[in-house]
Structure 1
Amino acid sequence: MTPVATDATRPVPEFPQTLGHPRPLWMLFMTEFWERFAFYGMRWALTLYIVAQFFNHDQAGQGYASRTYGAYLALVYASAIFGGYVADRILGYQRSILLGAAVMGSGLFMVMVPNQQVFLAGLATVIVGNGLFKPNISSLVGQIYKQGDARRDRGFTIFYMGINGGGLLAPLVTGWLASVLSDTPMEQNYKVVFAASGVGMIISLIWFFIGKSQLKGIGVPPPERNGTRSMLMVIVGILVAIPLVYLLMAQAGAIVIAWLLGVLFIGVGVMLVVEALRHGRVQIQRVIAMLLLFAFNVTFWMFFEQAGSSFNFLAENIVDRNMFNGAFIFPTGWFQSVNSAAIIALAPFVAWAWAWSAGIGKEPSIPRKFGLGLLFNALAFLVLMYALSSTVDGTGHIPFWPLALCYVMQTVGELCLSPIGLSMVTKLAPSKVVGLAMGGWFLSTAIGNNLSGLLAGHISGENGMTVASALSGFTFSFWLLMGAGVLLFLIAPLINRLMHGVK
């Protein structure tokens, strides 16, 4: 199949500039804002809904809910590998994004149906649609900058603020919706949450459809792949993929998914190396450096994604959420906005720090930025270790502030790693498989997410989370993250050599 032209094979148009960046960045920013509104709007409610709807509020359902949540997130990100390939080789980036948005919206409305099989089928539909959407809009951000443009990292940081703008607004809106419907069971309230998320996805679809003309042909496939036939091929593939993903979630389970993702990751790595072999030693070593950083990305997300599972149950059952002497109970879902609020507040300072350090010739290398991400993630768990060992009151609760501070510390780590990783892929990947490589990045995130569900299920055990089980699990998390961060700092010079001057 003929590859889609990328920024390396097609000249980048001269875009009008807005606030120092190509104007299409801001259209992509808002498209991603509304897609993330849809994603985060329902993310906080998933595990709580499963326990309420399918286990009649029995806390013994926490383990199953955590594993299902981890498998869902894993497959959401793993599907990006196929979506990136489809965009590279068949459909182009623009049409992949539009089709993915439509499929995701359908799935979000399906999860409202109070039937476990339909619920899982809805999640499977969201997963497949996200695979077409997520890697390809990130790839477009990289393609609106010329090779060597020093603004690219800062552009990805701005784009990341769009991601987290949606992530901030969504839990506040949907958490409020769930709380004001106080005369109905929470199972019904969560369905309103899912409906609001579906509306957000529709807005994202419309926004991109209207704004895609700003891209001036970037992301459009060659003429021979721009017809109806390629679209029909992909639609048939979607109709086949959704039942397969459903079976993985309903029958295979998180452990089988972990093995499948591992095999898939090896396969992607081999494909990237094979493509790199066509370009010589430098490109081969750059791909090896990228794959090494993918492995550390797995570790980061294994612990970061406790947010929607073990941290959720911690907030619901162990954190004292009574505010102002009991006058207000802080909604569980609002904790999910702390991360996004911190990103919006801190991202400009982090971007400035990178620019300032670059100006004096001291900017940390990409591997060291990753290492900082792991270390800040470790410190977040250290805060929870302190709270669970030293601040538990007579009712078995910890104060509000440790979990909020944990989210802020994780946010600093995320800003050091995640937007830098997106930019890194567009710099290190062979030019003809940027979409595939971006899918590989999200696949490494998927593996971490699936492991996060297994860890959260272990922390909850058979009867639900306790102070003791949370302390044990979070202590393990701290030491593993700390070790990984220190190791990455030690081997950073080797990875820098493999990158051959890519900054």
Structure 2
Amino acid sequence: MSTTTTNDFFKSKVLGHPAGLFVLFFTEMWERFSFYGMRVLLINFLTFSIIGDNPGWGWSAENAAALYGTYAMLLYITPIFGGILADRYIGYRRAVVIGSIIMTLGHASMAIETPLFLYIGLGLLVIGTGFFKPNMTSILSEMYKGHSDKKDGAYTIFYMGVNAGAFFGMMLCGYLAENVGWSWGFGLAGVFMFFGTLQFWLAKPLFGTVGEVPSKADRIAAEEAAKTSLNAEDKRNPFTLVDKLLILVTIVIGLLYAFNDPLSKIGNINLFPFKAGSVDGQNVMVLIALILFLVLVITRIARYTTVVRDRMIAVVVFAFFTVFFWMSFEQGASSLVIFARDNVDRTLEGGSLMTFNIVNTILTIVPLLIVSWVLILLAKQTWNRIPGSNIVLAVCFIGVWGVVVWMLYQYFTADKSEITVSWFSILNSFFIITFASSISKIWDSKYNPSAAVKYGLGLIVMAIGFGLLAFGAYGVTEGIKVSMIWLVLAYLFHTLGELCLSPVGLSYVSKLVPARMIAFMFGMWYLAIAIGNKLAAILGGQIENITKEYSLSTFFLIFTIVPTIAGLIVMSLNPILKKLMHGVK
């Protein structure tokens, strides 16, 4: 794609960066607002009692998690195809707009609150995310070609937009859904997704040719450049027919499994109606797909020379332990939501309510003031070129301020108040914003540990959070609720674990993998995250069964012990992994 106009971006600056970065910042912010706003509601809505002032659907945790797990799994698969389509045919900017429109329709469908429209809405969100997710960062990367010294700062600002959107989305959509009605929460997510799309589209004059549909000449030039850049290592190991067949078969079985899990539990429709002894057909097919995928990875890696082969083995090892991390961390979308609702004492009054109101007000108003200030700076720089986009953003923030003031007023005027379930989910975004720069400085210092140690620390620190929950829930029986401090501390340690591990993975894929395999290995990496998300939902859906059979403390001990063991193992592999990486740091 053409990059002839990228230098023009640096003529109008906001906080030392081109104004176009902050258009992307707000676009990503509203998308994350809608995504996390819906995400924090889904399990709660599906499992909430069917009677009462604000009834849910009364599903079991197992069935709700089966549906959510498939949704979360597919979110990491469709971006692979969306990125390919944008690269070759429709361009990054058009892909973002298409994805945004589809996701807006998805949120609108979910606000109708019927099973049919719920499934349609989730399907549209999966498809829309496929177009949106990979192409926002592609636009950002293209904007900063020739300005690599600015890129790290740009991604940091962009990442703040992600967390700001998640923070306000979970807080406001959650509050409306739990206190007014579920459709209001789902609907608010759709409203801001729509406005995010509109402000991005109206900002077209700011981007010039960046992210446009690639011309035929651009596509041919890119293909030729790719061919000439392949080194001898890549040319000697093309994808064979067997490789392609193995990829196809594993994808088909994986997708069939993803759909069969909720279909068999919720709709009593089984795509694998057989058993091998006492093993269900679904699990048999998953095992077959896993074996075929391992054959694919092993045979491809074996065909490379020693150094490249060793480095790719290191990536596979890291991907394996990634599954254990996300399997535990993503309990925040399933079991921790149910735990917060049913087992945490969220009722406050008197001095404790006043303390919460002060903390909550500071927590809400300060970041909103900062983001509003950035909006004003952007408007000053771009009003003459994109007035429509700035007006839409202003309307968005007037709406957010309105909902925030109304929410805080409700808290302050109540003599007794129950903290919303969704409030606890905002803590992850808050702690990321609070601690990300400090953790980054440690990694940039002389204390910077190896990748294996970071992975081990990430897993173990996160496990401490679950250990605290296991301790806090020890001896809890029906009718007894635990202090919310245990959940707050758990989210703190989960976030610190995420900051240790999450930024490491993709960085090492790009450093260790040869050019021809990088797309395949990135796909494998996202597959590992997708599997982790699905396993998280499967295990999280067992919270009711395990609590009934054993105890709530036992449930959290699973996520204390397993990640701790995984963390110790990966740290013990540090000397081997260093050797396999052949000097890559």
- TM-score normalised by the chain length of structure 1: 0.79
- Per the alignment, residue 416 of structure 1 pairs with 500
For 1:93 and 1:271, how far apart are their aligned partners in 2? 30
Larger Rg: 2
- Per the alignment, residue 135 of structure 1 pairs with 134
Quote how far apart the aligned CAs of 1:79 are. Answer: 2.3
- Alpha-carbon contact 2:50-2:58 (below 8 Å) kept: no
- Alpha-carbon contact 1:70-1:453 (below 8 Å) kept: yes
Further displaced range: 267-276 or 206-215: 267-276
Is the partner of 1:113 in helix, strand or coil? coil
Quote how far apart the aligned CAs of 1:283 are. Answer: 4.9
Quote how far apart the aligned CAs of 1:497 are. Answer: 4.1
- Alpha-carbon contact 2:331-2:536 (below 8 Å) kept: yes
Distance 1:109 1:477, change over 3 A: same
- Per the alignment, residue 362 of structure 2 pairs with none
Distance 1:48 1:420, change over 3 A: same
- Per the alignment, residue 420 of structure 2 pairs with 331
For residues 101-116 of structure 1, the aligned pairs below 5 Å read: 101-116=100-115
Tell me the alpha carbon deviations over residues 323-365 of structure 1, each in whole angstroms, 9 at most, x when there is no partner: 135711110111111111111111122222223x1xx3x3223
- Alpha-carbon contact 1:79-1:127 (below 8 Å) kept: yes
Equivalent AA in structure 2 for residue 251 of structure 1: L
Distance 1:467 1:27, change over 3 A: farther
Quote how far apart the aligned CAs of 1:213 are. Answer: 6.3
Distance 1:126 1:223, change over 3 A: same
Distance 1:264 1:135, change over 3 A: farther
Distance 1:80 1:270, change over 3 A: farther
For residues 14-53 of structure 1, the aligned pairs below 5 Å read: 14=7, 16=10, 19=15, 24-52=20-48
Tell me the alpha carbon deviations over residues 137-165 of structure 1, each in whole angstroms, 9 at most, x when there is no partner: 34555555569957756654443322111
For residues 136-151 of structure 1, the aligned pairs below 5 Å read: 136-141=135-140
For 2:560 and 2:114, how far apart are their aligned partners in 1? 38
Is the partner of 2:112 in helix, strand or coil? coil
For 1:265 and 1:95, how far apart are their aligned partners in 2? 39
Distance 1:22 1:489, change over 3 A: farther
Equivalent AA in structure 2 for residue 401 of structure 1: I
Distance 1:448 1:138, change over 3 A: farther
Q: Does 1:290 align with 2:286?
A: no
Distance 1:137 1:424, change over 3 A: farther
**Correspondent of 1:312 among 330, 337, 346:** 337
Tell me the alpha carbon deviations over residues 467-497 of structure 1, each in whole angstroms, 9 at most, x when there is no partner: 9532112101111100111122122343344
For 1:318 and 1:263, how far apart are their aligned partners in 2? 38
Distance 1:212 1:385, change over 3 A: farther
Quote how far apart the aligned CAs of 1:223 are. Answer: 1.3
Is the partner of 2:345 in helix, strand or coil? coil
**Correspondent of 1:353 among 442, 455, 464:** 442
Tell me the alpha carbon deviations over residues 348-387 of structure 1, each in whole angstroms, 9 at most, x when there is no partner: 22222223x1xx3x32233332222111111110110110
Quote how far apart the aligned CAs of 1:320 are. Answer: 0.3
For 1:135 and 1:93, how far apart are their aligned partners in 2? 9
For 1:282 and 1:84, how far apart are their aligned partners in 2? 29
Aligned-CA RMSD value: 4.0
For 1:94 and 1:245, how far apart are their aligned partners in 2? 33
For 2:291 and 2:21, how far apart are their aligned partners in 1? 30
- Per the alignment, residue 171 of structure 2 pairs with 172
Q: Does 1:442 align with 2:526?
A: yes
- Alpha-carbon contact 1:53-1:114 (below 8 Å) kept: no
Quote how far apart the aligned CAs of 1:244 are. Answer: 8.7
Q: Does 1:251 align with 2:263?
A: yes
**Correspondent of 1:372 among 449, 454, 457:** 457
For 1:262 and 1:164, how far apart are their aligned partners in 2? 38
Quote how far apart the aligned CAs of 1:169 are. Answer: 0.5
Q: Does 1:197 align with 2:197?
A: no
For 1:330 and 1:26, how far apart are their aligned partners in 2? 33
- Per the alignment, residue 206 of structure 1 pairs with 198
Is the partner of 1:323 in helix, strand or coil? strand
**Correspondent of 2:577 among 484, 495, 501:** 495
For 1:30 and 1:453, how far apart are their aligned partners in 2? 30
- Per the alignment, residue 72 of structure 1 pairs with 71
Q: Does 1:383 align with 2:468?
A: yes
- TM-score normalised by the chain length of structure 2: 0.69
- Per the alignment, residue 542 of structure 2 pairs with 458
Equivalent AA in structure 2 for residue 193 of structure 1: G
| Higher relative contact order structure (alpha carbons within 8 Å, sequence separation ≥ 6) | 1
- Alpha-carbon contact 1:152-1:423 (below 8 Å) kept: no
- Alpha-carbon contact 1:276-1:283 (below 8 Å) kept: no
Distance 1:101 1:467, change over 3 A: farther
Further displaced range: 312-321 or 442-451: 442-451
For 2:298 and 2:202, how far apart are their aligned partners in 1? 34
For residues 82-93 of structure 1, the aligned pairs below 5 Å read: 82-93=81-92
For 2:188 and 2:313, how far apart are their aligned partners in 1? 42
